[in-house]
A and B are shown apart, each in its own frame.
Chain A
Amino acid sequence: MMNLKISALEFVEEVKNGNISVEDFIGKTLERINNIDDKLHAFLSINEDAIDQAKNIDKKIKSGENVGACFGMPISIKDNMCIKGSKTTCASKMLENFVAPYDATVISKLKKQDAIFIGKVNMDEFAMGLSTEFSAFGPSKNPWNTDYVPGGSSGGSAVSVSSFECVASLGSDTGGSVRNPASFCSTVGYKPTYGLISRYGLISYANSIEQIGPLTRTVKDAAFMLNLIAGVDPNDNTTVNNNNEDYLSGIDSGIEGKKIGIITDMIGDGIDPEVLTATKEAISKLEGLGATCEEVSLDMVKYSVAAYYTITATEAGSNLARYDNLRYGYDFPVEGYEFNSYISKARKNLGPEVTRRMIIGGFVPSAGHAGKYFLKAMKVKSKLTKEINEAFKKFDLLISPTVPVQPFKIGEKIDDPVSLFLIDINTVTANLTGKPAVSIPFKIVNGLPIGIQLMANSMDDKLLLQAAHALEQTVSLPEVSI
């Protein structure tokens, strides 16, 4: 009986030791997807060549050739990252038939390491959302309870990892889009320091703050993935040199003597009592491991969601202006249309949330309104960055719940945009300030997961992963029963 529930590192060991063949594992993974994904809708497309790719890697192993560090590990990829020759839809009707002509840098790096991309996974259209309900191809379902949202926008990534349809996944995080679904589905979700991972080949939403990040079963797996995909890329001028840091080595170092700040602004009004209790338990566990925890306030957090949506909508308005259906888009002939009316009509294929954010993205930086909205949002971003930098002079790490609430029912909040906005309140700070942050599965209450967020200073990703690993070791959680 093939165990699909193993971690990425266990998978590599099992293949290396000859205990399992890549072909068998990939075959069983595809079988599982085939059996359960109708209920979950994590996948938008499946790699039809996966078995052949697995056979090739098995052949390389048998013949003693060099094999990449992934050893044929099945990884799912959020459908906003380009894989050459594969559909990259961004879960949008606008890009339903777009076939990427090149590989994203993260994809070419993982290909060199013999990863197998098992399929492309669902997301909110153009990554705009936090529940995966805004996918043009229908929502993904939370494997812990399929009446509930899996979080988003990388909902397909989190569902595929937590329900054992792959070993790991790549998502993208603009305001919590890796950490939020990780928290809702009980997986690890890692948002690295801004610039640590190249965004080349990631379809742009809000370039100044978004990052690609891994979703995995364990913190060690996230460190392993980070080792493979981090580093400078000449195709992305915002990437930073990490001096080939090994994030896995020393991950067992523990957190004795570390100072952790409890962000009071993230455990106040609107938090579920169960989430607050879980956060207090996490703090106690960290103290039990030798850390010192003390409260800290970041005054700008209460304005962070408004600043985040103002800035991201502005960047989205610019980025999505390219979807005029002339260069790429769907089949819609130009004959009989005047230029502007053609583009307006073509853009009706964008979903409601994307359309709303494009309108906002035109409004908030426009003449007469920029001073009230966009410039103020940028000033909040600057002040929040100062506040958090000040906090990191005193603390090594900051802690909060990843999301102030537990997963909610599909459709429950879809008509209330402001209530949806506020679910992001604990995650957007890391994006606005460029800091690394991780969601660690911590507790299951009433059958639904709760994740805890740790944040560190820029480029302290290694320390952050060590702390996350230490916290992870204090809990033993059930698996999804699906």
Chain B
Amino acid sequence: MVTTEEIEHVSKLMKIDVDNHAEYLEKVQTMINYFDILDSAGVESEEISMPEIPIEELRNDEYIPFGEKLIEKMNHYKGTYIHAPKMS
């Protein structure tokens, strides 16, 4: 069982702030508590298999010009920079 305090802490780290806190946290808690079923899967000794791609099969690591100035499409583009809020 996870507590709403634990969830609230993580949501702050995720930079997520919601108005109706209790309702959100309760639903998230219900969802995470459902995941407790994984405890009975008996997979402790199981190895995690990951797909491997040989490096020679990857495309060359080289710059591919796009053709358009994508930076101009950014939300707060100011000609030579993107305007961001102040760091505290």
Chain A residues at the B interface, C-beta cutoff of 8 Å: 99, 101-102, 234-235, 237-238, 300, 302-303, 306-307, 309-310, 317, 321, 324-329, 334, 337-345, 347-348, 352, 355-356, 358-364, 366, 369, 372-373, 375-383, 385, 417-418, 421
Instruction: Give the shortest distance, in Å, between B27 (CB) and chain A (any CB).
Output: 6
State whether A327 and B75 are in contact (beta carbons under 8 Å apart), knowing that A338-B85, A338-B88, A359-B28 are contacts in the complex. yes
Partner of A373, one of B38, B43, B53: B38
Q: Which residues of A contact B31 (CB under 8 A)?
A: 309, 356, 360, 417-418, 421
Is B5 engaged at the interface, CB distance under 8 Å to the other chain? no
Interchain pairs with CB closer than 8 A, number: 157
B87 partner residues in chain A, CB cutoff 8 A: 338-339
B85 contacts A342, C-beta separation under 8 Å = yes
Question: Are B41 and A359 closer than 8 Å at their CB atoms?
Answer: no
Most chain B CB atoms below 10 A, which of A234, A373, A379: A379
Please list 7 pairs of residues, one from A and one from B, whose beta carbons are closer than 8 Å in the complex, sorted by A's number.
A303-B37, A334-B85, A337-B86, A339-B84, A342-B85, A379-B46, A417-B34
* Contact B16 A417, beta carbon cutoff 8 Å: no
Majority DSSP secondary structure for residues of B touching A:
loop
B15 touches A347 (CB 8 A): yes
**Which single member of A102, A303, A348, A363 contacts B41 (CB below 8 Å)?**
A303
B84 touches A364 (CB 8 A): no
Classify the interface of chain A: helix, strand, loop or mixed.
helix
Cα–Cα distance between A417 and B28 once the two chains are bound (Å): 9
Q: Which of B11, B49, B58 lies in contact with A385, CB distance below 8 A?
A: B49
- A378 x B35 contact (CB < 8 A): no
B48 touches A375 (CB 8 A): yes
5 pairs of A and B residues whose beta carbons are closest in the complex: A379-B43, A344-B17, A379-B46, A362-B14, A342-B85
Residues of B within 8 A of A383 (CB): 41, 43, 46
Query: Contacting B37 at CB < 8 Å: which of A306, A325, A356, A385?
Result: A306
Interface residues of B in 9-47 (CB under 8 A from A): 10-11, 13-19, 24, 27-28, 30-32, 34-35, 37-41, 43-44, 46-47
Pick from A324, A363, A380: contact of B2, CB below 8 A: A363
Which chain B positions have C-beta within 8 A of A364? 32, 35
Closest to A333 in B: B76
Q: Which residues of chain B come closer than 8 Å to A343, judged between CB atoms?
A: 15
Given contacts A101-B70, A327-B75, A363-B7, 15 further A-B contacts (CB under 8 A): A237-B58, A303-B37, A306-B38, A321-B14, A325-B75, A326-B74, A334-B83, A334-B84, A348-B17, A363-B10, A364-B35, A372-B38, A373-B38, A375-B48, A380-B41
* Given A355-B16, A382-B47, A417-B30, A339:B41 Cβ within 8 A: no
Give A362 Cβ to nearest chain B Cβ, in Å: 4
A310 near B35: Cβ-Cβ < 8 Å: yes
Q: Which residue of A lies closest to B60 (CB)?
A: A234
Measured in the bound complex, the distance between the Cα atoms of B27 and A306 in whole Å is: 15
Contact A338 B41 (CB under 8 A): no
Chain B residue contacts of A339, Cβ below 8 A = 84-88
Q: Knowing A343-B15, A360-B28, A373-B38, say if A379 contacts B48 (CB, 8 Å).
A: yes
Chain B residue at minimum C-beta to C-beta distance from A326: B84
Question: Within the assembled complex, what's the spacing in Å between the Cα atoms of A421 and B57?
Answer: 37
Chain B nearest CB, measured from A129 CB (Å): 13
Question: Quick one: closest A residue to B41, CB to CB?
Answer: A303
CB B62 to nearest CB in A, in angstroms, measures 11
Interface string of B64-86 (1 = CB under 8 A from A): 00101010011110000011111
**Closest chain B CB from A92 CB (angstroms):** 15
